[in-house]
Structure 1
Amino acid sequence: MIVGDLGAIARARSSPDFAMLELDGVLSIWLWLGLGFQLSTGAVLFWRLAQGKNRPRPLQPEWAPPEWAGKVTVLLPTLNEVKRLSPCLAGLTVQTEEVREILAIDSYSEDGTVASIEAAIAQDPRFHLILYDPDSDRWVGPSGALQTGFLRSSPESEWILRVDADTYPRPGLVASLLKAAIASNYDLLSVSAQFILKYPGEVWFHPAMLITFAYRFGAIGKRANSPDRVMANGQCLLCRRHVLEQLGGFAIARDAFCDDMKLARHAAKQGYRVGFLDGSKVVRVRMYEGVRETWREWGRTIGVRDASHPWQLWQDVVFLLAVQGLPPLILGFYAIAVPRSLLFQWPHVGLWSFNLLLMLARIAMLWAIAPYFDRTQAKAPWLFWLSPLADPVVWLRVLISALRPPKQWRGRRY
């Protein structure tokens, strides 16, 4: 009897139906684990997004009072910028008496960049040209040029403002930064910009890139809960002179492609007050031309690799996979491949419904970030609203950035 029962069990276990039941059981366990993981990461995401309702209003153009005259030195690092430099030079020219000097530090450009700077010097005596040889110290990116400019800046300037060549400063930018920094007692303050989009690929791709920062670091203006979560944007970054002196200038970022975050987080760790505010009303930026350049250049910084601990970097990679990379894929899989009879069985119903919630939150984020993009010149502006479909590709770019350290900046290899 016992032998017969064992034989029947053995025959049952070898049948295709039993194998399918075993497979379903294993699959169900993995689905439950996946759902639990997404629920926990999604809770973190929704908590971060909820902080956005209390974020400060965007900075507005301001006009400096007479006592602010000469308080700021602007540092403008350049390298082969002739195609995009003119709006930056024009925007700096219209800044008022609070700007004492504008130091353009050129790394021996091979185009007409120096000629453009010399033309600006002829119109505005606050402009000065400094030549910097990047081969002299092999600092990564613009840090060496910034350090050279800082060391040659006027000691009478109480503030140092770093501006990138791809920015379009609006009138009243510098005064608005000064007002915000003084009012909130910031030692270092940077702002987000409004991105100018033109070509279809970047209209579709760029918003998804920006969302990765919103998901990881929360709302603009929200104070970071630790120095390692501080956000910064080197396109427009203001720092007190004496603080920068205490920090050793830009030396902390000498080997960092993500130099702005490295400097800001170092300042926060030293106890200085660091702020990141909405500057979309006072500065615009034209970062990259087309999706290919967007993919390549964003990849240097999107992982924040050289300003993060390895555990933090990979925590962010996994987090973004759960809340941004997977939802479009999971919803697509359920729409195409899963039988309707399974859609309302657990854990399937929990998995697709929560990913639908994540996707709806992602679509709602498009309305929140829309003011940060100027699409008036875009050839296919409607692609902005389809950017959630780019999320899996953008997550792949974050993963590649985490795995492969950058080695090139503006054509120079390190």
Structure 2
Amino acid sequence: MGWAWICLALALLPASVGLVNLVLLPRLRPPTAAPAGRLVSILVPARDEAANIEACLDAALASRGVAVEMIVMDDGSRDGTGEIVARRAAADSRLRLLAAPPLPPGWTGKVHACALLAEAARGSHLLFIDADVRLAPEAAAALAEHAAARGIAMVSGVPRQRILSLGEALTVPAINLLLLGYLPGGGRAFTRRPDLAAACGQLVLCDRAAYAAIGGHGAVRGVLHDGLALARRFRLQGLRTEVVDGAPLATCRMYRGFRESWAGFVKNAREGMATPLGLPVWTTLLAGAHLWPWALLPSGPAAAAILLMLALRAAITLRAREPWWTVPLHPLTVAVALAIQWDALARAALGRPAGWKGRAYPATKAA
């Protein structure tokens, strides 16, 4: 069997998985009326988010279709984040500001802040979002309704990613490519196995009782990729989790430029693909389907593999509402994604801690 045919076979895998996942990915609808007794607590861990927090507050406090409260945990900010939230809280009783105590040993910063937020929340559902997330008006209502109506303990989705620079275009689209193209079931609730769990930490809603039953964020205190760790924890306890179409629910500009994107993805890679056993397999799968065919042109099977992968990327881009101009960059995006994973693995092998926002953490295997 020639190399070009091997590439085509490797391309057929994500093409078929992606087609099924795109068809099955649920798009949520809010309830027709606000359910009595349901309260969604919108919880935001914030560290040095002065540039983001006000727009986050505006969007979340404009929620409709369900009663909401909003709590922001100022986690040692040095840029005036707390002052902005305090001013807004004085004018809106639904908003509260809390200050995180010093970070205890064994915890990562965001996870610690989320655990404290959950303790302070009063809601029947806990909606954890990052400060750079802008919720759609009916997002909280739709997420809570989906969880309650289907008995799902945790619902997550990838917000529509705002991509405004070349550096972001070479990194951020890999999120949806890997989720939809390479995860059987795409994180749907019928895939109950923990190793098929998925989540995006930017947008996570948990049923409060189920969250307490698994030990909440305290059960995954040492991780950096908290959304994925929580999803696996729920499933290990026999509870259902689901990834839904997040593009209509929220938007997010997670990084600004190439350097920040690289650092952010390196941080999370150490709890995902960047393992000594897993990364060679991922390199074969991704390079074989998305990169090697270009070197084998004008072979017919290689051309077919390229067309399949560009079609898959275009379909995912359309569904995720990402910019069309990022599609022609697809081979470079895959190459950069692999480079990030190998960089993360090398850093771990050298004992270099993962760092983010002035804190350094040892690499910890996700739960």
Q: Scaled by the length of structure 1, what TM-score is found?
A: 0.77
Deviation at 1:38, TM superposition (A): 4.8
Question: What SS class does the counterpart of residue 142 from structure 1 fall into?
Answer: helix
Residue type of the alignment partner of 1:205? T
Give the match for residue 277 of structure 2: 314
Q: Does 1:297 align with 2:264?
A: yes
Contact 1:206-1:294 at 8 Å conserved across structures: yes
Quickly say closer, same or farther: Cα 1:225–1:398, change in 2 above 3 A: farther
Alignment of 1:32-181 (within 5 A): 38=7, 41-42=10-11, 44-52=13-21, 54-60=23-29, 62=30, 65-96=33-64, 98-154=66-122, 157-181=123-147
Residue type of the alignment partner of 1:358? A
Deviation at 1:142, TM superposition (A): 0.5
Larger deviation: 238-247 or 396-405?
396-405
Residue type of the alignment partner of 1:162? F
Percent of paired sites with the same residue: 23
Alignment partners' CA distance in 1, 2:267 and 2:36: 37
Output one character per residue of 1:214-251: Cα deviation in whole Å (capped at 9) or x when no partner. 33314646443621121111211111111111111201
Q: Scaled by the length of structure 2, what TM-score is found?
A: 0.86
Q: Does 1:409 align with 2:356?
A: yes
Residue type of the alignment partner of 1:216? Y
Deviation at 1:373, TM superposition (A): 3.9
Quickly say closer, same or farther: Cα 1:256–1:36, change in 2 above 3 A: farther
Q: Which runs of 5+ in 1 are unaligned?
A: 1-30, 336-342, 344-351, 376-380
Quickly say closer, same or farther: Cα 1:322–1:358, change in 2 above 3 A: farther
Output one character per residue of 1:81-124: Cα deviation in whole Å (capped at 9) or x when no partner. 11122221111111137344211111120002112211221232
CA RMSD of aligned residues (A): 2.7
Alignment partners' CA distance in 2, 1:148 and 1:205: 31
> Which segments of structure 1 move beyond 6 Å, counting only runs of 4 or more?
none
Residue type of the alignment partner of 1:390? T
Structure holding more helix per residue: 1
Alignment partners' CA distance in 1, 2:132 and 2:22: 30
Deviation at 1:177, TM superposition (A): 0.5
Q: How many residues align?
A: 355
Output one character per residue of 1:173-213: Cα deviation in whole Å (capped at 9) or x when no partner. 11110121122221111112100111122224322454233
Give the match for residue 332 of structure 2: 389
Alignment partners' CA distance in 2, 1:401 and 1:225: 29
Residue type of the alignment partner of 2:53? L
Alignment partners' CA distance in 1, 2:277 and 2:5: 19
Deviation at 1:76, TM superposition (A): 0.9
Quickly say closer, same or farther: Cα 1:254–1:37, change in 2 above 3 A: farther
Residue of 228, 233, 241 corresponding to 2:208 = 241
Larger deviation: 86-95 or 96-105?
96-105
Q: Does 1:366 align with 2:313?
A: yes
Contact 2:187-2:199 at 8 Å conserved across structures: no
Give the match for residue 338 of structure 1: none
